[in-house]
Structure 1
Amino acid sequence: MISLFFKATVSLIGAAAGLAAGLSYTLFIFGFKNASSIGNPQTTLPIAFFSFCLFLFLFTDKGEAAEVIMSGDIGWFLLVGVLGAGMSFIFYVIDIGFTPPSTASMVAMVEPVTASLFGVLLMGDNLTFIQIFGMVFILCTVSVLSSVKQSD
């Protein structure tokens, strides 16, 4: 365990997963930007999304997936899936035609902040100092990047 400020700890697997997520997102942004220059962004994004879903299906525990379908909480799963992923994906695909990829990627960086605030406001989660610091750091970085972009 790596001890970060105060009582926050991060395991080696957690740190590696976080770095892998950042690398994957970076590869997606660059790949999407290159694919968008060849084809229509509204077509490219759903193809990339469904390709990734098919790839992840190979690593899915099929037994656990079947248990979710039979769960009494299936309505909540569908609600979170449709509103949290489905509707946002549809809006993103519609909007990507009007927004340059560089701007869209900066806006997407705020996603962890909104997810954290959702957890605090609706789920009653508590944030540690390092988590709050991380949210502020993300917001400052996005603000600086957007102001640098506008001055170019």
Structure 2
Amino acid sequence: MYRGLVYVFIAATAWGTGGAAAALLYRDNGLGPVAVSFWRFVLGAAALAGALAAARLTAGRRPARLARPAGRRWTLVVTGAGLAVYQTAYFAAVEQAGLAVATVVTLGAGPALIAAGGRLLLDERLGRGGAAAVALALAGLALLGADGGGGGPRPLLGIALALLSAAGYAAVTLLTRGAPAGDPARTALSGFAVGAVCLLGPAVAEGLWPAGDLRAAAGWLAYLGVVPTALAYGLFFAGLARIRATTASVVALVEPVTAALIGVLALGERLGAVALLGMAVLLAAVAALAVAERRTATSTPVRSRVTVGG
């Protein structure tokens, strides 16, 4: 159980670094949100494929082929499409409504949608402690966003895109949590491949190739593909095998905390007292979910459910 919490925590921390890399690509290399998401998926798939090939060579044999339950291919298609929707919609929401609003709406609506879906579809019961932790997390996000400043040219459109992103995130989390057990790396690889196919046409229409310093652009794109994509999603899917979907969605709220710290330390942004309080409340919610998950794990065994790729 604790390993699952650690996996999701590391994944969310890695995700929090991706926004800064994407912002630099927008500013310095003229790429839009769809193109950044496309390259992120392509390079993430390449990184995972390389890692799996290296694992096979190290093992010195071909891994045993896993059985394919009926409907798995459709599960992989829906997972990949959901990844494409929620990542691209979030990046677009940042452009239209600003970083603070997009982050608060997406990551605030996500746990609520996942809690509802987990109760209806997976029979995951939060309990009073879990429900209180979700409410605490939403309060922390509201505080963090209230002091975020910024804004965008079309805030209503941005909010709609952020809600679409939250819906895609919830769908991927619930689908992965409810699927048969398997290899999380292959799950992520399959999802990235499907997501890249979904985004290819829109990315070409938006402008696929970066401008400016191509070496710097290649470096940031490679970072996006390896750390907040291949590594983070592999760990996230592995974590979902061990903890409840709602718990994972709340632990993942360390992402905006990470992004805010990067903004202060690396990008010269300032955080007021309200935002700092919001960060503290968010971290308290993550700690409360860890306690609630431990109590649930001791009373009800958690069955492993991770989508199998390949």
What TM-score do the two structures reach when normalised by structure 1? 0.71
1:86 is aligned to 2:226: yes
Instruction: Give distance in 2, aligned partners of 1:13 and 1:110.
Output: 26
Q: Decide whether aligned partners of structure 1 residues 107 and 12 sit closer, same or farther in structure 2, where only a CA change above 3 A counts.
A: same
User: In structure 2, what is the Cα distance between the partners aligned to 1:132 and 1:56?
Assistant: 36
Matched residue of 2:208: which SS?
Answer: helix
Q: Decide which of 190, 215, 220 is 1:75's aligned counterpart.
A: 215
Gaps of 5+ in 2: 1-96, 102-144, 297-310
1:51 aligns with 2:191: no
Counterpart of 1:148?
Answer: 292
In the alignment of these two chains, the number of paired residues is 147
CA contact (8 A) 2:250 2:285 kept: no
CA distances 1:89-127 after superposition (whole Å, capped 9, x unpaired): 343426854762546555433222212221221111234
- For 2:304, the equivalent position in structure 1 comes to none
Distance 1:83 1:149, change over 3 A: same
- CA pair 126-89 structure 1, distance change in 2 beyond 3 A: same
Q: Write the letter of the residue equivalent to 1:75.
A: R
Unaligned runs of 5+ in 1: none
How far is the alpha carbon of 1:81 from its aligned partner?
2.4
How far did residue 149 of structure 1 move? Answer: 0.5
Contact kept? 1:109, 1:138, Cα under 8 Å: yes
Residue 59 of structure 1 aligns to a residue whose secondary structure is helix
Deviation at 1:9, TM superposition (A): 7.4
Decide whether the 8 Å contact of 2:184 with 2:235 is kept in 1: no
1:112 and 2:252 aligned: no
Question: Would the alpha carbon gap of residues 137 and 13 (structure 1) be closer, same or farther in structure 2, given more than 3 Å must change?
Answer: farther
Whole-angstrom distance in 1 between the partners of 2:218 and 2:146? 38
2:268 aligns with 124
CA gap of 1:22–1:139, structure 2 versus 1, over 3 A, is farther
CA distance in 2, matches of 1:148, 1:89: 28
Q: Structure 2: how far apart are the matches of 1:46 and 1:146?
A: 28
Aligned counterpart, 1:30: 174
Q: Distance in 2 between matches of 1:46 and 1:95?
A: 13
Residues 59 and 27 (structure 1 numbering): CA distance in 2 closer, same or farther, change over 3 Å?
A: same
Following superposition, the deviation at residue 55 of structure 1 comes to 1.2
RMSD: 3.4
Moved over 6 A (4+): none
Structure 2 residue 161 is the aligned partner of structure 1 residue 17: yes
Deviations 1:46-95 (A, max 9, x none): 101221122122322545223x1xx2332232222222441343434268
Q: Distance in 1 between matches of 2:162 and 2:227?
A: 26
Aligned AA (1:83):
Y
Does the Cα contact within 8 Å between 1:106 and 1:142 map onto a contact in 2? yes
In 1, Cα distance between equivalents of 2:249 and 2:213 = 33
Read off the aligned partner of 2:288 and give its amino acid letter: V
Separation in 2 of the partners of 1:5 and 1:105?
Answer: 21
Structure of greater relative contact order (alpha carbons < 8 Å, 6+ residues apart): 2
CA distance in 1, matches of 2:268, 2:199: 30
Distance 1:33 1:123, change over 3 A: same
Percent of aligned pairs with the same amino acid:
24
CA distance in 1, matches of 2:147, 2:214: 38
Letter in 2 for 1:100: R
